[in-house]
């Protein structure tokens, strides 16, 4: 989630060089917070494991694209397999950029609207070991010669804007504008992730460019004008490794294998297409209703790029007041709450329609010691320009979520047993699933050419899998830290 994309380039550079976290009013910075947290640490991946994974990954990708290159199929929806990074801290997918196309892993973020990649010119330590974009390797790259900068709660990236072919989940946009960033603040990228794909509306894009998804949705490239997420849970799995299967990101259709019952859609209030806004209509904690303020302080951004759930201090305090022996955190845990781990917590949220339960496993964000846990709701002051609630993966792991372009709305449905069965199943992470280019769209013309043949993928870079540092890209801080 981007809280402020309007900070000046200069201010950002100053902050970058000072190596600090930008726009981070409270709670405290990830680095300091981590010192108090006793994580149920995932087992470190050995060099052998990583090598095996990397080799399998490369072979899978090569096999996949050799196959699709020769069997052109026309399709107008597509699936991208997601990777769950560091026990639910972040979720990333893959796309391909340029000619010949090169694959990159990018955080999938419904809380911002820009695509950017680390540049091969990036000398910042944040880019060490991260696959980077080299514009001279792409024959179709066009330099827009315009500065780009974006500020997240947890850091910032800056560079210049370019335009190139971007392919994802079987779709291709021939002239996607994106940031090529030679300045990236520490902690923003955790290998193998090279950048971020913003999935919110163009109105909040720092670049001003139409986001990939919005170009596809508005041009009619999709069977249905919507995209969906099913996200896996590994935070209560002591065997979780740095990278685990993360679920699915689907463009252009819902997938009935992944949910049951109806999808409960609620419109984006006032047609304010910026973040994926919803109005919080009800919250219960241990069966008791929480007081929700009306008006703008009930606005929530539904944000796949945020790990936890932030909300107004009063409401968050009331949630914990229903949990016996809970108390406000102090010092580095300012803004958070601690409570006895032995308490099974049941919090539900509604956004105008059905009410959705957050599992105890997700509420229990961290175990601080044998008795004390930290809850997933934290108090947040987003200021005037952002919604009061940021509803992140803590919530989204409990539902099938639908982000619908037209009518602009967010929908939730119950996860199917097939989807639930993917939680906590340690397995090799999916290979890049960029797909064949079945539908090609131009960002300016919005034209659709569904008969365009499959692209040939020559050099899919898959990037090394190193040990991962954990920062959630889009909130003020992250809950899961190294």
Ligand X SMILES: *[C@@H]1O[C@H](CO)[C@@H](O)[C@H](O)[C@H]1NC(C)=O
Residue of 164, 264, 303, 362 with catalytic role: 303
Cβ atoms of residues 133 and 180 within 8 Å: yes
**What is the distance between the alpha carbons of residues 130 and 479, in angstroms, rounded to a whole number?**
23
Residue of 88, 105, 109, 114 with catalytic role: 109
Beta-ladder partners of 176:
164
**What is the distance between the alpha carbons of residues 421 and 403, in angstroms, rounded to a whole number?**
23
- H or E element that contains 302: strand 299-302
Residue span 347-366 as binding mask against ligand X, x where in contact by CB under 6 A, dash where not: -x--------x-xxx-----
Pairing of strands 309-311, 377-379: parallel
Q: Is 182 designated active site?
A: no
**What is the distance between the alpha carbons of residues 217 and 441, in angstroms, rounded to a whole number?**
10
Give least dist CB 285 to ligand X, A.
9
- Write out the two tokens for 249: 């990101």
- Write out the two tokens for 375: 């809850």
Q: Measured at the alpha carbon of residue 316, what is the angle toward residues 311 and 318, in degrees to the nearest 5?
A: 150
Would you count residue 367 as binding ligand X (CB under 6 A)?
A: no
Question: In the 3-class helix/strand/coil scheme, how is 357-380 assigned residue by residue?
Answer: EECHHHHEEEECCCCEEEECEEEC
Give least dist CB 78 to ligand X, A.
7
Would you count residue 257 as binding ligand X (CB under 6 A)?
A: yes
Report 142-161 residues binding ligand X (CB under 6 A).
143, 145, 160
**What is the distance between the alpha carbons of residues 371 and 368, in angstroms, rounded to a whole number?**
8
Would you count residue 13 as binding ligand X (CB under 6 A)?
A: no
Contacts of 344 (CB under 8 A, 6+ apart): 360
Residue span 420-439 as binding mask against ligand X, x where in contact by CB under 6 A, dash where not: ----x---------------
**For ligand X, which is the closer residue by CB, 329 or 375?**
375
Would you count residue 255 as binding ligand X (CB under 6 A)?
A: yes
**What is the distance between the alpha carbons of residues 16 and 317, in angstroms, rounded to a whole number?**
34
Give least dist CB 156 to ligand X, A.
18
Name the 3-class secondary structure at 81. strand
Give how many residues touch ligand X by CB under 6 A: 25
Give least dist CB 148 to ligand X, A.
10
Would you count residue 287 as binding ligand X (CB under 6 A)?
A: yes
Residue of minimal Cβ distance to ligand X: 361
Give least dist CB 118 to ligand X, A.
11
Report 230-249 residues binding ligand X (CB under 6 A).
236-237, 248
**For ligand X, which is the closer residue by CB, 105 or 163?**
163
In the complex, the residues that contact ligand X under the rule CB under 6 A are 79, 119, 135, 143, 145, 160, 162, 180, 236-237, 248, 250, 255, 257-258, 284, 287, 346, 348, 357, 359-361, 418, 424
Catalytic residue ranges: 109, 303
């Amino acid at each position: 989630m981007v809280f402020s994309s309007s900070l000046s380039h200069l201010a950002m550079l100053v902050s970058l060089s000072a190596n600090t976290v930008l726009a981070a009013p409270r709670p405290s910075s990830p680095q300091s917070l981590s010192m108090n947290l006793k994580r149920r640490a995932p087992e470190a991946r050995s060099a052998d494991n990583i090598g095996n994974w990397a080799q399998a990954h490369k072979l899978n990708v090569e096999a996949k694209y050799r196959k699709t290159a020769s069997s052109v199929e026309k399709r107008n929806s597509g699936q991208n397999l997601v990777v769950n990074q560091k026990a639910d801290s972040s979720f990333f997918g893959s796309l391909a950029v340029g000619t010949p196309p090169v694959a990159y892993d990018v955080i999938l973020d419904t809380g911002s609207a820009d695509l950017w990649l680390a540049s091969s010119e990036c000398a910042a330590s944040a880019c060490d070991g991260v696959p980077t974009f080299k514009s001279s390797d792409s024959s179709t790259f066009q330099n827009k010669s315009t500065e780009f900068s974006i500020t997240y709660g947890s850091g910032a990236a800056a560079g210049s804007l370019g335009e190139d072919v971007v392919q994802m989940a079987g779709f291709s946009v021939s002239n996607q504008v994106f940031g090529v960033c030679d300045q990236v603040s520490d902690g923003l990228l955790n290998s193998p992730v090279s950048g971020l794909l913003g999935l919110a509306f163009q109105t909040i894009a720092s670049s001003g460019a139409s986001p990939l998804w919005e170009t596809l949705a508005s041009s009619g490239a999709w069977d249905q004008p919507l995209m969906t997420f099913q996200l896996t849970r590994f935070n209560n799995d002591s065997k979780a490794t740095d990278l685990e299967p993360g679920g699915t990101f689907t463009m252009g259709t819902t997938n009935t294998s992944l949910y049951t019952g109806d999808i409960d859609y609620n419109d984006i209030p006032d047609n304010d297409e910026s973040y994926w806004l919803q109005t919080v209509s009800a919250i219960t904690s241990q069966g008791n209703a929480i007081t929700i303020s009306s008006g703008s302080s009930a606005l929530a951004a539904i944000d796949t790029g945020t790990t936890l759930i932030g909300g107004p201090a009063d409401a968050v305090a009331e949630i914990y007041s229903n949990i016996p022996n809970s108390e406000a955190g102090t010092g580095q845990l300012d803004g958070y709450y601690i409570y006895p781990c032995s308490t099974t917590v049941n919090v539900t949220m509604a956004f105008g329609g059905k009410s959705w339960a957050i599992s105890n496993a997700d509420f229990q964000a961290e175990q601080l010691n044998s008795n004390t846990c930290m809850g997933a709701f934290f108090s947040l002051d987003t200021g005037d320009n952002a919604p009061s609630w940021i509803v992140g993966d803590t919530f989204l792991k409990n539902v099938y979520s639908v982000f619908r372009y037209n009518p602009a709305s967010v929908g939730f449905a119950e996860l199917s047993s097939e989807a639930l069965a993917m939680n906590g199943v340690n397995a090799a992470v999916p290979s890049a699933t960029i797909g064949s280019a079945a539908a090609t769209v131009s960002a300016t013309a919005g034209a659709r050419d569904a008969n365009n043949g499959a692209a040939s993928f020559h050099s899919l870079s898959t990037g090394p899998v190193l040990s991962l540092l954990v920062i959630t890209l889009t909130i003020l801080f992250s809950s899961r830290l190294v």
